[in-house]
Structure 1
Amino acid sequence: MRNVLTLFSSVDDVLCHRARLVLAAKGVTYDMVPVDAQNPPEDLIDLNPYHSVPTLVERELVLYAASVVTEYLDERYPHPPLMPVDPLSRARLRLAMLRVEHDWVPQVQAIQMGNKAQAEAGRKRLKELVTAAVPLFKASKFFLNPEMSLADCAVAPIVWRLQALGIPLPKDGAKAIEDYGNRIFRSPGFVRSLTPQERQLRALPD
């Protein structure tokens, strides 16, 4: 029997991984359609004017952009909740996710898809951003929140890739970042969110 949800997703992309991590955390079953960004399938071209991933389809509903997809999933499948109840905390997490998407993600993409100079600049900038975020990794069990949230679903896929991207952890924050990552990487939901290609990027913690 076909699942109600279909996710068009790259097999190694931080924004797609973000959507898959939310689905896994919610325990939602779905059909995944692997997408090559250079050669998107006809179905995706028909559904999404930008041909971008992740794209989520639920019956007649079509959603794209990782932030839209993940917030919809959190509201559509409320358990476990991935956003705090109070407006101030929700706003802080939304702002953090915006910063990750606007600042961190382009550096990852430059490293993965840019030329040598672009990749080197991306590594330098991403290292600076991760170093600047060390106090946030130290401040709470999860990113800006005592419980796992949508912000973690945005940050964890990048932390998972740091080693493969050639980003050394800052000395004064290495343990905090490793501890943060391991808390999430040990969860069954995170393991389910990984594609075979993403599993090859690093070892899962014991």
Structure 2
Amino acid sequence: MGVVAKRSSMTFFSDANSHYSHRVRIVLAEKGVTVDVIEADADNIPAELTDMNPYNSLPTLLDRDLVLYESKVMMEYLDERFPHPPLLPVYPVARGASRQYIYRIERDWCVLVDSLVEGTANAKTLEKQRKELKESLMAIAPIFTEKPYFMNEEFTLVDCCLAPILWRLPALGIEMPNNKQTKPLLAYMDSLFERESFQASLSEMEKEMRAPQVG
């Protein structure tokens, strides 16, 4: 767990409803980085981003003269700039595996989340995507009987990517059953959501996604 301290002055342009922005906010909280968070959305992009970000997109991280506008790049940059606590394994093989897990999360799950959030597909397609995401997450539940985090003994950037998706399941119309199969996954979710950094990372909009469970 990162100790909250004034270690840097950054500006983070964040979409309060985006799981891509949320994953970066978790890293910032884990590292205890002092950051000015400017909330915006796709329909309300700050004018100053036009000159800094060629894609005029969110999230965007500004650190002095450096401008980053891809969430995975931001997370790794923050992990290298503020090495404690480390959020990627030390050894190259394990680091490569973690990067591959993040890639698979984006290919297999983020695309489904993005489509469900957008909600422009027909009802049949959206229901199929909900079913696919739910069943895919249930299928990985057993791995959390072996290690407390995603394929790791320690909390990593992989968990930073997965936590925002799991938090959003009710808002996406997905309810995970509470049974023997899902018990390890539900325990993992509880451990993520109880982390001080995770609670600190939540926007007001995100808190409302699970309002009855937020203190």
TM-score with structure 1 setting the length: 0.92
For residue 99 of structure 1, what is the aligned residue in structure 2? 104
Q: How does 1:4-15 map to 2 (within 5 A)?
A: 4-15=9-20
User: 1:182, 1:205 within 8 Å by CA — same for their partners in 2?
Assistant: no
Shift in Å at residue 128 of structure 1?
Answer: 2.8
Shift in Å at residue 136 of structure 1?
Answer: 2.8
Following the alignment from structure 2 to structure 1, what is the Cα–Cα distance between the partners of residues 115 and 104? 17
Partner letter of residue 206 of structure 2? E
Q: Does 1:109 align with 2:114?
A: yes
For residue 176 of structure 1, what is the aligned residue in structure 2? 184
How big is the alpha-carbon RMSD for the aligned residues of Structure 1 and Structure 2?
A: 1.9
User: 2:150, 2:158 within 8 Å by CA — same for their partners in 1?
Assistant: yes
What are the Cα deviations for residues 150-173 of structure 1, in whole angstroms up to 9, with x where unaligned? 000000111111122122325443
For residue 122 of structure 1, what is the aligned residue in structure 2? 129
Following the alignment from structure 1 to structure 2, what is the Cα–Cα distance between the partners of residues 205 and 173? 25
Q: Does 1:157 align with 2:150?
A: no
Stretch moving more, 148-157 or 170-179: 170-179
Following the alignment from structure 1 to structure 2, what is the Cα–Cα distance between the partners of residues 61 and 82? 21
Shift in Å at residue 204 of structure 1?
Answer: 4.1
User: 1:186, 1:204 within 8 Å by CA — same for their partners in 2?
Assistant: no
Partner SS for 1:6:
strand
Partner letter of residue 198 of structure 1? E
For residue 134 of structure 1, what is the aligned residue in structure 2? 141
Count residues with an aligned counterpart.
205
Partner letter of residue 66 of structure 2? L
Stretch moving more, 84-93 or 54-63: 84-93
TM-score with structure 2 setting the length: 0.88
Following the alignment from structure 1 to structure 2, what is the Cα–Cα distance between the partners of residues 143 and 39? 35
Runs of at least 5 residues in structure 2 that lack an aligned partner in the other structure: 1-7
Following the alignment from structure 1 to structure 2, what is the Cα–Cα distance between the partners of residues 48 and 187? 32
Partner letter of residue 61 of structure 1? L
Q: In percent, how many aligned pairs have the same letter? A: 44
User: 1:16, 1:53 within 8 Å by CA — same for their partners in 2?
Assistant: yes
Partner letter of residue 67 of structure 1? K
Stretch moving more, 17-26 or 108-117: 108-117
Shift in Å at residue 121 of structure 1?
Answer: 3.1
Following the alignment from structure 1 to structure 2, what is the Cα–Cα distance between the partners of residues 15 and 104? 12
Partner letter of residue 135 of structure 1? P
Partner letter of residue 137 of structure 1? F
